[in-house]
Amino acid sequence: MDISRLSPFTFDDNTIDPRLIANRDYQVFDVECILEHSGDPKRKSSLDFLVKWAGMDDTFNRWLPWKELVNNSLLHKYLFQHNLSKLIPKHHRKDHY
């Protein structure tokens, strides 16, 4: 990497979250919220969740399987709000609920 091509990243922290910009460079996005779910709560492997991504419009919403979200705190919040808190992994339950 040629460091002579680097320049300072200046921004207004009232309007720009530099983490979101960095995430976009690597095509990584933060979960804004879980919108809904499908599948049988008795079989975690059958569960899918509709994810809204932070900073993205609804056209980017995507269904993800349980295994990709199991440790996400926003999924835990969704599960708690929908009377599915038994699905929150035990090591996360005591910390947040």
The domain in which residue 53 lies consists of 14-96
Q: Per the domain annotation, does 1 fall within a domain?
A: no
CATH, residue 64: 2.40.50.40
Q: How far apart are CA 22 and CA 54, in angstroms?
A: 13
pLDDT in tens, 4-62: 888 887 888 888 877 777 766 666 678 999 999 999 999 999 999 999 998 889 999 99
Q: How far apart are CA 30 and CA 56, in angstroms?
A: 10
Q: Per the domain annotation, does 59 fall within a domain?
A: yes
Q: Per the domain annotation, does 42 fall within a domain?
A: yes
pTM passes above 0.75: no
Residue 6 half-sphere exposure, CB side, CA atoms within 13 Å? 5
- pLDDT class for 95, splitting at 50, 70, 90? low
Q: How far apart are CA 58 and CA 30, in angstroms?
A: 14
Q: Per the domain annotation, does 43 fall within a domain?
A: yes
Handedness of CA 10, 16, 18, 21 (dihedral sign): negative
Q: Per the domain annotation, does 4 fall within a domain?
A: no
Please give the tally of structural domains in the chain: 1
- Closest to 66 (Cα-Cα) out of 45, 86, 87, 97: 45
